[in-house]
Amino acid sequence: MRRHPPAAVHAAQVLGSLAVALLIVVAVIMVVAARLPAIQDELPELEEQREEDAERQEEEREQRDEDRSRGQSPLCDRAACRMMDGMTTTPVRLTPTEGDAILADNFAPWVRELGLIVAQATMTVDGATDTVAEATTVYAIMAS
Amino acid sequence: VDDVVEAVTGGHVTAVKIVLTSVMLALAVYQVMLIAVGYGKVRPPFLTAASAAVTHRAVGDAIVGLVVVVGAMCLLYYGVEDSVEDGAPGPEGRATLHVVAGFALAGVLALKLVVLHLWRRAGRLLPLLGMSVLALLFVTWLSSAGAFLVRS
């Protein structure tokens, strides 16, 4: 029988024992990873994240209730409309003709000559519920 | 620093810590087996003392690296105060035990490295230091990762 030189045996034993260490690492990772889904609700950073989400949702709900009590449009709940804080957010009802009249009264002739008109547009708001139905039709100033 | 730690761990800092500390503990147990062969206390036919000693050294280096990484994550991300306030579930004081055991582990591990590399005359302390490292690793794991994993 052919005998391995001591150096080769030594190297093989070292590599083999390192391979065992690697197997231990893989096994531990698999076992712990399998357990993690069951305990993820108790982990601190996830708990903090959940609390932050709950606080944010609570703030949004309070803001919606406050807007409703002031008679403002539900559109104000939208992030884009929040940028308009301080501006009139109550839905304005007028016809395109009335809008053109406002343009004529308030804009200089050279501005109107740019081609500004009042047109009717429809905007869908997050799946349009009954509460936002009145606000789904808006009038926008746009270039013709 | 928090952002870096969260980016590296994909936002699952505690989960990654639990995995790493569990790996460390398992490797530490394997280290005891290896050094038992290295000291000739156990003589398996498939592993010589010299080979076991070499592997023990390599795996030990890996464990030191993991201890440094996990320790840095603990201190930089959670800090001592947050660790005590928002520690693992269980009896009050468990998180404090985790902090104390963690610092003791770092100290004993540093002393072991000093004995290995600089203060060789104290080599007779190595078995005691090694067992201390294993015990402190176990306490550190049990007071944090173990508390999460074992809790049903």
Tens-place pLDDT, residues B101-128:
989 999 999 999 999 888 888 888 898 9
Segment A122-130 long-range contacts (CB within 8 Å, at least 24 positions apart): A125/A74, A125/A75, A125/A78, A126/A78
Q: What does the mean pLDDT of chain B come to? A: 85
* Interface check A57 vs B, CB under 8 A: no
Counting beta carbons within 10 angstroms of the beta carbon of residue A46, is it exposed (0 to 12), middle (13 to 18) or buried (19 or more)?
middle
B65 pLDDT tier (thresholds 50, 70, 90): very high
Buried (b) or exposed (e) across B57-95, using 16+ Cβ within 10 A? eebbebbbebbeebbebbbebbeeeebbeebbebeeebb
Residue A138: what pLDDT?
46
Residue A39: what pLDDT?
78
Residue B138: what pLDDT?
93
The proportion of chain B whose per-residue pLDDT surpasses 90, expressed as a percent, equals: 39
The Cβ of residue B109 has, within 10 Å, a number of other Cβ atoms equal to 21
User: Could you give the maximum distance between any two Cα atoms of chain B, in Å?
Assistant: 51
**φ, ψ of residue B108 in degrees (nearest 5):** -65, -40
* Interface check A16 vs B, CB under 8 A: yes
Q: Give the bridge partners for A138, in sequence order.
A: A121
> What is the distance of C-alpha B113 from the center of its chain?
14
Interface residues of B toward A, Cβ cutoff 8 Å, are: 6, 11-15, 18-19, 22-23, 26-27, 30, 34, 46-48, 50-52, 54-55, 58-59, 62, 78, 86, 89, 148-149, 151
* Interface check A54 vs B, CB under 8 A: no
* Contact criterion met (CB below 8 Å) for B77 and B2: yes
Best residue of A4, A10, A13, A30 to probe chain B, by most B CBs closer than 10 Å: A13
B89 pLDDT tier (thresholds 50, 70, 90): low
Three-state DSSP class for residue A117: strand
**Which candidate from A17, A27, A43 shows the least CB-CB separation from B52?**
A17
* Interface check A85 vs B, CB under 8 A: no
Q: Do the chains contact at B149 and A35, CB–CB below 8 Å?
A: yes
Residue A102: what pLDDT?
80
One digit per residue, the tens of pLDDT, for chain A of length 144 reads 444 558 888 888 899 989 999 999 999 999 988 888 887 777 765 456 556 767 888 888 888 888 777 655 555 455 555 555 555 455 566 777 887 788 788 888 787 777 777 776 665 555 554 443 343 444 455 554
Residue B28: what pLDDT?
94
Q: What is the distance between the alpha carbons of residues A78 and A126, in angstroms, rounded to a whole number?
A: 9
Which residues on chain B are in Cβ contact (under 8 Å) with A39? Answer: 148-149, 151
Please determine, for residue B51, whether its predicted confidence score (pLDDT) is greater than 70. Answer: yes
Residue A140: what pLDDT?
53
